[in-house]
């Protein structure tokens, strides 16, 4: 049985497998909490974008904030991807994974002078600039280095993405981007700055989008602007349409990457812009359903109004439920022949917000292992050391092969940089 949204996750008899690796065995070998990723799932998801864009100039830049583990970056770099970064640290990770800065676009609203210098010296492909203040500072830093910074302006099209307010980025009230009505004037200013080379235009309206319509609405507004900018004598070489395509956590039915891109390209071609290079920045849709978080049941605590299944994974390991009230599937790694009971699956962190799933029907006992599904995006990348808990280990599976790609942190490593006072 293949589980919804997870193409390489399937049950064989009572046991759950990711590709050809039995998850209960991986939990026993490496301990829990444990993130496990399917490389085949990542490459399959990427292939859908690559098929849809075949035959025209394009660059797929993996939005690495979704999952920045080096082996994940290496997987995408070897498959021909560029990278969308939002910090100098992410640039260092890209380079450590063996990728080229020439395929990197640098996004984010708060780039520092140090990060700008670092990115210019590395030779990033483009800066996605999000304010006039940033544009002025970037020009100044570039002039100091004797170069011109390649830029796109990230335009806020004021389009409602229909997603969670914390991950919506394309409305007037969001901190991201330059307002659509101000963009032409900012482009004119950018074209006059000595340290700036205008290259394209950028738009990203949010994350976990499950409908095509918001993408098309934003595209139309961007193309209107492209035509006005070029009428003003400023050439734009590429369209960066961002990312944000959602995945299936429960009953969502997002379009496939093929379907989404086909509709976007049809609109681009119909309006006479088919000659431009297209840049996409997918993140969650490449890695979300490729990963699971394994956890061990510690205790069962029945109560008058709630039954609690206490596990060894916590909100510091997986923030999405606590932060967004996100629903993520939770299933046993090995099924029991016993009646299911309704449990709230909670962790050991000293917060009432430390929950991973509410009202789940599970047949479990202490010592069992559970798999939290669709955990490949914004899981390990958002993990913390709250309660002095070491972050989880990570494993990448490729067929029958399972490789430890990050070992578990020890408590001593967590305070290694701290000092006692005299």
- Binding site as annotated, residues for substrate: 284, 320, 324, 351, 378
Q: According to DSSP H, which parts of 236-319 are helical? A: 257-270, 284-287
Pick from 359, 352, 415, 368: nearest CA to 389: 415
Least Cα distance to 3 among 352, 191, 247, 218 occurs for: 247
**What angle do the packed helices 213-231 and 183-192 form, to 10 degrees?**
50
Q: What is the CA radius of gyration of the chain?
A: 23
CA 169 to chain CA centroid, Å, is: 14
How far is it, in rounded angstroms, from Cα 23 to Cα 309?
Answer: 20
Q: Give which of 26, 25, 43 is closest to 34, Cα–Cα.
A: 26
Considering only CA atoms, which of 288, 332, 290 is closest in space to residue 311?
332
61, 203, 333, 350: the active-site residue = 350
Smallest CA-to-CA distance from 126 within 211, 245, 237 is with 237
Q: Respond yes or no on whether the N-terminal peptide bond of residue 10 is cis (omega within 30° of 0).
A: no
In the numeric block, the tokens 């335009």 are attached to: 155
CB neighbours of 58 closer than 8 A, spacing ≥ 6? 277, 278, 279, 280
Label the pairing between strands 330-332 and 149-156.
unpaired
CA 422 – CA 233 distance, rounded (Å): 65
Verify whether residue 61 is a known catalytic residue: no
Tell me how long the chain is.
Answer: 422
Sign of CA dihedral 81, 87, 88, 90: negative
Residue 350: how many CB atoms within 10 A of its CB?
A: 9
Annotated binding site for pyridoxal 5'-phosphate: 244, 281-284, 378
At 420 the three-state DSSP class reads coil
Residue positions annotated with a catalytic role: 350
């Amino acid at each position: 049985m293949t589980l919804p949204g997870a193409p390489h996750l399937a049950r064989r008899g009572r046991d759950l497998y990711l590709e050809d690796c039995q998850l209960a065995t991986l939990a026993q070998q490496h301990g829990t909490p444990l993130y496990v990723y399917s490389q085949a799932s990542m490459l399959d998801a990427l292939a859908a974008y690559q098929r849809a864009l075949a035959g025209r100039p394009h660059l797929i830049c993996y939005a690495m904030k979704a999952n920045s583990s080096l082996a994940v970056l290496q997987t995408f770099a070897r498959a021909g991807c560029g990278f969308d970064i939002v910090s100098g640290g992410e640039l260092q990770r890209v380079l450590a994974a063996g990728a080229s800065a020439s395929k990197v676009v640098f996004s984010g609203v708060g780039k520092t002078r140090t990060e700008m210098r670092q990115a210019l010296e590395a030779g990033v492909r483009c800066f996605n600039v999000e304010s006039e203040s940033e544009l002025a500072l970037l020009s100044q830093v570039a002039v100091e280095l004797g170069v011109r910074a390649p830029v796109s302006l990230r335009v806020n099209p004021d389009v409602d993405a229909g997603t969670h307010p914390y991950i919506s980025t394309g409305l007037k009230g969001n901190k991201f981007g330059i307002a659509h009505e101000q963009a032409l004037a900012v482009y004119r200013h950018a074209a006059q700055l000595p340290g700036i080379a205008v290259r394209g235009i950028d738009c990203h309206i949010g994350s976990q989008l499950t409908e095509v319509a918001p993408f098309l609405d934003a595209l139309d507004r961007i193309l209107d602007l492209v035509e006005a900018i070029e009428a003003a004598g400023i050439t734009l070489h590429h369209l960066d349409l961002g990312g944000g395509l959602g995945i299936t956590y429960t009953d969502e039915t997002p379009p496939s990457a093929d379907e989404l891109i086909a509709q976007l390209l049809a609109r681009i071609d119909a309006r006479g812009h088919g000659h431009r290079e297209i840049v996409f920045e997918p993140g969650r849709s490449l890695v979300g359903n490729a990963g699971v978080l394994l956890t061990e049941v510690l205790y069962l605590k029945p109560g008058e109004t709630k039954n609690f299944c206490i596990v060894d994974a916590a909100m510091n390991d997986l923030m999405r439920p606590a932060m967004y009230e996100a629903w993520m599937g939770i299933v046993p790694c090995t099924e029991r022949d016993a009646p299911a009971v309704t449990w709230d699956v909670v962790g050991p962190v000293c917060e009432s917000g430390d929950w991973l799933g509410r009202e789940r029907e599970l047949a479990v006992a202490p010592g069992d292992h559970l798999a939290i599904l669709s955990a490949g995006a914004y899981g390990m990348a958002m993990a913390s050391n709250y309660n002095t808990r070491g972050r989880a280990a990570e494993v990448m599976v490729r067929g029958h092969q399972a490789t430890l790609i990050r070992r578990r942190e020890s408590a001593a490593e967590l305070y290694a940089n701290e000092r006692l006072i005299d």
